[in-house]
Structure 1
Amino acid sequence: MSGSESVAALFVPALKVLGALVGLLFGVVLLFVLNQMLGAVYRATIGEWFSPWKHIPKVKTTDPLALFFGDFRAIKAAQPGEQHVQWMNELGPVYRYRHMFEVQRVLLADPKALIHVLSPAKAYQYPKPEYTSAFLTAALGQGLVSIEGEMHRRQRKIIAPAFAPSVVKEFYPVIHRHAKLLTDKLEVIIGDMIARHQGKIPKDTLMTGECPSDRDVKLADPDHSAVIDTLFWLSRTTLDIIGEIGFSAEFLALENGNNHPLANAMGTLIGAILDLEMSTAIFLILSEKPGLKWLRYLPSDRNRRLKQSQNVVREHAAKIIDKMRQDILAENKDGITSDVMKPKSVISRMVRANMATDLKPSERMSNEELMGQVTTVIIAGHETTATQNTWALWLLATHQDVQDRLRKELQEQVAKEATDVDSLTEEERAIYDIQPVRNLDAVPMLDKVVKESVRMLPSVPSTVRVALKDDVVPLSKSYKRADGKGTYNSIVIPKGHELFVPLNVIQLSKEIWGEDAQEFNPDRWDNLPSSVVDAKMPPGHTFAFLSGPRSCIGKQLAIMETQVLLAHLLLKFKFDVVPGWDLIQRQQVVRRAFVDGQKEFGVRMPLILTPLSK
């Protein structure tokens, strides 16, 4: 037998085996698709007769691929919450729609229902779906956002004191200092852009954080204004803030970008977590199906970037935790407390609480859990806050009358406090070096604007929960049946069923907030409708930060940070939208914005900034 015949003799069987494996894989995939499609056909026809929800109004779909995608494509094609709000306006606060493969979901824009689901008695019976928790744990580690059940209960008990109101107040000067650094930086950047327009800098120069389209905008007053991507600069600022108050790190992101290795790794992690296109979302949803968990681990550029970034984060997190633990041990041993050893940062407070002698070993967080908090604190306290601030600025830019009123109140408070300066001590006067307003609580319009922006455009518009056991969810009122024959005042949620938690949708409900619910009106907070008060919603009268044991533990810090940043920015600049540029909103975990026709430049929030001191 010749050499070529020998190779062929070996090669042909190998090809047959490979062909058999490919055929087997194709057959498995085909069987899975057929199984899901048959289930979808059943649910859309016979199953409808036996559905415990057939009395609930149902969305009518025109999607020819509804058997596969349900109403998912319509929801993803619209801006966050927009399609759900439209259906709510047509069908009422309680209705059902189809997820993939005709799986039914009930939307409950009903305050009593959400309070029930999120309550201390029920919250751990409604965890996040397993595929969501697995995705978040893979990216963030075993932090408070990703874990569930008893582990979450144990972690929150240890972590909660680090976010107590008295502790949050200690961070007030830190936030003011970084806010001032931001406005100083923006003044420099805008000055350089004006100089470029005047020919003092080459016309083709691109400034930090700028896209070519920003540079080419024809401004009405180019000698005094510039287009600035507010998300770019706010994201850097909030990263610096959370680095310092989170674990005493100096990222210097505002000045140097992501040159710090941990900041750079976190930037990559944030991108991988938030850049969820429809195809990725579908893969995550399919990965919950029996036998398809392997879809989560398919080799991809995104997964590769995640793994590399996680290695860097874990390395730095381990060093941070170890140093804090050694400092606390040294302090306890020597009986002294130095400025370095004081438990000032959020993570140091967590480590100290975790080392408390009255904690049982079973109640302590492991090293893995503590390291997970580092990632969680950065992600939860950085990108969401930056995003919320940019949406607040956009709302003010589109409502100039509100912006002018808020700025006037801030300026009046500045003037009022200036009259009292002579009575202050030298130390008290020094506060004004970094903080233009000593008492932001004396500016009611600021509080109203922040509340209204959170109500209208929360950075996280929705979440999903799954029932661990059968439950009956009460409703705040009786709703008409779909057939018009009677009413119902509760919903049966079967074990294993997913429940969509419509944070943004319920905050735009006309039944709760009145006919102007979908309009930006900060003055509504002066005299809330009785329907809002009677709903007994969470503190702040919104669900933007959830409620109960799964509520956002850093809520007070986020609100304070938003107020401080807005105060600094509005006292320095006027904000306008860019004429002719439309923003497209997309929910990629958080609500993000793209400029229509400029998606290649990524997530942005460009606004025209005009310094008030010309």
Structure 2
Amino acid sequence: MASVSTIFFCFYCLSSAVALLLSSYVVYHVIIAPRFNPLRKLAGPPLKGPLDNHMSPVLDPFRSPRTHAAYVEKYGRNVRIRGLGPWDERLLPLDPVSVAHVLKNSTIYEKPWQSRRLITSLIGCGMLAAEGHIHKRQRRVATPAFSIQNLRALVPLVFSKGEELRDKWMDIIQAAKEDQAPSEEQNSGQIEIDVCHWISRATFDVIGLAGFDYHFNAIQNESDELFAAYKEMFEIAVSQGDGVRTVLGIYFPFLNTIFPDKRVKTVHRCQETIRRVAGKLVQQKKSRILDGEKNGSAYAGKDLLSLLLKSNVATDLPSDQRISDEDILHNINTFMFAGSDTTSLALTWTLLLLARHPDLQARLRAELLSIAPTTPTSRLSIEEIESLHNTLQNLPFLNNVCRESLRLIPPVHSSLRVAMQDDEIPASYPVHLSDGTISEQKSVRVLKGSFVHVPVEAFNLDKGIWGDNAWEFDPDRWDHLSEDVLSLPGLYSNLLTFSAGPRSCIGMRFSMIEMKTFLYILLTAFTFAETGKKIYKANVVLTRPYVSGQFRSGSQCPLLVKPLVSAAS
């Protein structure tokens, strides 16, 4: 039998070997490997020290437009930037051909595992987090639900919720008017409303009904347990928690199990409610669909959950291409997260921009009023609402305003990809090198594991492409686009706002239905003006509005809202 000293000696040797391997791994990846990274040959901004990085000026929407413009001028259109540490040299492509290559080749450039782990811990492995064959399978099942025909069936629902929000604001304004003192009569009918908060509630209602035929009733109150679970989970993921602890939880997930902080506990509690309530809805709808097949009468549900489930059991879909009930729920969570927040922010920013440009607001209102039926929309038939919507979709100035707002303030500021293999990224502009020369070869070599920072906002605001007034709100620019703009990649109007390529936003059409419908209903009922409070942009998962000095209060966009009838009287 081995002696105690022998056992300790063996343990010591084993521990030393493990420590040596770990230290060698760290030294290689932190010190040695970066020296041979071909991205180091690219021109890029200097660093103040070995631990410095470029994340703040690149990610902060208050600074990023000037940062990107300066980088293009000094370092060309494929720039080397530093990520979280000396091992993290990233490519910042500001060349349209380079970005198009990265977004088109989604099997070579995937979301990093760090991003996917964070998303999965919140909403599960839906289309936002899935990669490879899993993403392809989920997207194939989901695509029929987003057909033009199915989305048209949701138009009356969107109109109904837009009208409900309008009526709620009318009630709030009327109640405030009755409470006004006589000395305040000159301001009668005008009230400050946080449009960010209220539009978020309305889009939650829309996606609840459109997503799985569930009534959150969020416009009227915020008491529904499923709404509260989603809202609290998304809110804490966005604005609460310790950033350092969140990063540690990504790299060392056991910490969240052994030492859960407030954020982790809240997310788990909310997820339990979602699994219980939303999971029950999945099973109920699945039973109705199967019962309908047995009885020969197809279930008529038009919500995305019903359409997903129908698509998933379709006879022409091979069994190995179907997805699990858990994946169905994960994708509903994804639609809730991506569908409610992005659209509400796009609408919020549009109303703020129109408040800042009252002449453009009046011009858009005139166009909207020109197609308004004499009968209130609440009394129109489904066919009449669909006809109104078709007319709405083709209004030139409304289309220009929506495109310009989504260009100027894209809800998604930027995204990150990682190379899954060595690759040569093509370029259409000369590639500047760190030694001050320009490469004769119009391409950039990246190694497997290298990060590529896709700058959505930078492309939308590039003065070299959009002109000297690229940072200004000018809807009329869309009537005379340059060839440079028309050659840009993008799912929607040569913009990267909805991304491009195989992983572009599947809900883009639905988002545009919501955006144009809500603008029509709200702008033909109210006028919007600034309050005098300074509102600024901050990149907190998405580009959100905050009142200066009130960041801890969360996203806010207060505007002075006045009924149009009052404004005219």
Assess same fold via TM > 0.5: yes
CA distance in 1 between partners of 2:28 and 2:332 (Å): 45
CA distance in 1 between partners of 2:67 and 2:295 (Å): 60
Kept after mapping to 2: 8 A contact 1:37/1:67:
no
Of 438-447 and 560-569, deviating more is 438-447
Query: How far off its partner does 1:134 sit?
Result: 1.0
Distance 1:429 1:535, change over 3 A: closer
Kept after mapping to 2: 8 A contact 1:110/1:475:
yes
Q: How does 1:402-441 map to 2 (within 5 A)?
A: 402-414=360-372, 417-418=373-374, 428=381, 431=384, 439-441=391-393
Tell me what 2:416 maps to.
464
CA distance in 2 between partners of 1:303 and 1:117 (Å): 33
Match for residue 525 of structure 2 among 563, 568, 572: 572
Query: How far off its partner does 1:194 sit?
Result: 2.6
Tell me what 1:107 maps to.
92
Question: Amino acid of the residue matched to residue 350 of structure 1?
Answer: L
Question: Amino acid of the residue matched to residue 148 of structure 1?
Answer: E
Tell me what 2:426 maps to.
474
Tell me what 1:225 maps to.
190
CA distance in 1 between partners of 2:383 and 2:432 (Å): 62
Query: How far off its partner does 1:506 sit?
Result: 1.1
Kept after mapping to 2: 8 A contact 1:239/1:251:
yes
Tell me what 2:153 maps to.
170
Question: Amino acid of the residue matched to residue 238 of structure 1?
Answer: T
Tell me what 2:401 maps to.
449
Question: Amino acid of the residue matched to residue 308 of structure 2?
Answer: M
CA distance in 1 between partners of 2:498 and 2:401 (Å): 17
Tell me what 1:265 maps to.
229
CA distance in 1 between partners of 2:286 and 2:181 (Å): 55
User: CA RMSD, aligned part only?
Assistant: 2.9
Question: Amino acid of the residue matched to residue 477 of structure 1?
Answer: Y
CA distance in 2 between partners of 1:247 and 1:264 (Å): 16
Question: Amino acid of the residue matched to residue 364 of structure 1?
Answer: R
CA distance in 2 between partners of 1:392 and 1:181 (Å): 20
Query: How far off its partner does 1:447 sit?
Result: 0.6
CA distance in 1 between partners of 2:25 and 2:187 (Å): 62
Match for residue 126 of structure 1 among 109, 113, 116: 109
Query: How far off its partner does 1:81 sit?
Result: 3.7
CA distance in 2 between partners of 1:606 and 1:526 (Å): 31
**CA deviation vs aligned residue, 1:190-247 (integer Å, no higher than 9, x gap):** 22223333279xxxxxxxxxxxxxxxxxx99532311110011101100111111111
CA distance in 1 between partners of 2:146 and 2:81 (Å): 38
Distance 1:89 1:223, change over 3 A: farther
Tell me what 2:562 maps to.
610
Tell me what 2:172 maps to.
189
The answer to whether residue 81 in structure 2 is matched with residue 97 in structure 1 is yes
Match for residue 122 of structure 2 among 139, 146, 166: 139
Tell me what 1:208 maps to.
none
SS in 2 for 1:500: strand
Distance 1:471 1:295, change over 3 A: farther
Match for residue 495 of structure 2 among 538, 542, 552: 542
CA distance in 2 between partners of 1:299 and 1:598 (Å): 28
Query: How far off its partner does 1:573 sit?
Result: 1.2
Q: How does 1:448-597 map to 2 (within 5 A)?
A: 448-487=400-439, 488-535=441-488, 537-579=490-532, 581-597=533-549
**CA deviation vs aligned residue, 1:93-147 (integer Å, no higher than 9, x gap):** 322221122322121122211111111xx20221111111111111111211121
Match for residue 348 of structure 1 among 293, 306, 315: 306
The answer to whether residue 213 in structure 2 is matched with residue 236 in structure 1 is no
Tell me what 2:45 maps to.
59
Tell me what 2:285 maps to.
324
SS in 2 for 1:176: helix
Kept after mapping to 2: 8 A contact 1:573/1:610:
yes
Question: Amino acid of the residue matched to residue 308 of structure 1?
Answer: R
**CA deviation vs aligned residue, 1:460-489 (integer Å, no higher than 9, x gap):** 111111111111111122244454433342
CA distance in 1 between partners of 2:368 and 2:380 (Å): 23
Question: Amino acid of the residue matched to residue 313 of structure 2?
Answer: M
Distance 1:360 1:532, change over 3 A: same
Match for residue 333 of structure 1 among 294, 301, 322: 294
Distance 1:429 1:239, change over 3 A: closer
Question: Amino acid of the residue matched to residue 352 of structure 1?
Answer: K
Kept after mapping to 1: 8 A contact 2:192/2:558:
yes
SS in 2 for 1:67: coil
Distance 1:74 1:536, change over 3 A: closer
CA distance in 2 between partners of 1:476 and 1:157 (Å): 33
CA distance in 2 between partners of 1:469 and 1:100 (Å): 21
CA distance in 1 between partners of 2:137 and 2:279 (Å): 21
Question: Amino acid of the residue matched to residue 347 of structure 2?
Answer: N
SS in 1 for 2:411: coil
**CA deviation vs aligned residue, 1:545-591 (integer Å, no higher than 9, x gap):** 11122111000000111111111111111111121x22232212111
CA distance in 2 between partners of 1:83 and 1:509 (Å): 10
CA distance in 1 between partners of 2:185 and 2:357 (Å): 19
CA distance in 1 between partners of 2:72 and 2:419 (Å): 27
Kept after mapping to 1: 8 A contact 2:368/2:520:
yes
Kept after mapping to 2: 8 A contact 1:436/1:568:
no
CA distance in 2 between partners of 1:151 and 1:169 (Å): 28
Tell me what 1:9 maps to.
none
Distance 1:69 1:612, change over 3 A: same
Distance 1:38 1:442, change over 3 A: closer
SS in 2 for 1:256: coil
Identity %: 29
Question: Amino acid of the residue matched to residue 113 of structure 2?
Answer: E
Question: Amino acid of the residue matched to residue 375 of structure 1?
Answer: N
Kept after mapping to 1: 8 A contact 2:430/2:438:
no
Of 260-269 and 96-105, deviating more is 96-105
Query: How far off its partner does 1:161 sit?
Result: 0.6
Question: Amino acid of the residue matched to residue 533 of structure 1?
Answer: L
In the alignment, structure 1 segments of 5+ residues that lack a partner are: 1-23, 201-218
Question: Amino acid of the residue matched to residue 439 of structure 1?
Answer: T
Query: How far off its partner does 1:397 sit?
Result: 1.2
SS in 2 for 1:253: coil
Match for residue 306 of structure 1 among 267, 271, 274: 267
CA distance in 2 between partners of 1:176 and 1:233 (Å): 16
Query: How far off its partner does 1:385 sit?
Result: 0.8
SS in 1 for 2:316: coil
Kept after mapping to 2: 8 A contact 1:231/1:386:
yes
Question: Amino acid of the residue matched to residue 264 of structure 1?
Answer: A
Tell me what 2:7 maps to.
none
SS in 1 for 2:506: coil
CA distance in 2 between partners of 1:196 and 1:85 (Å): 50
Tell me what 1:12 maps to.
none
Tell me what 1:211 maps to.
none
Q: How many pairs align? A: 540
Kept after mapping to 1: 8 A contact 2:159/2:517:
yes
Distance 1:61 1:407, change over 3 A: farther
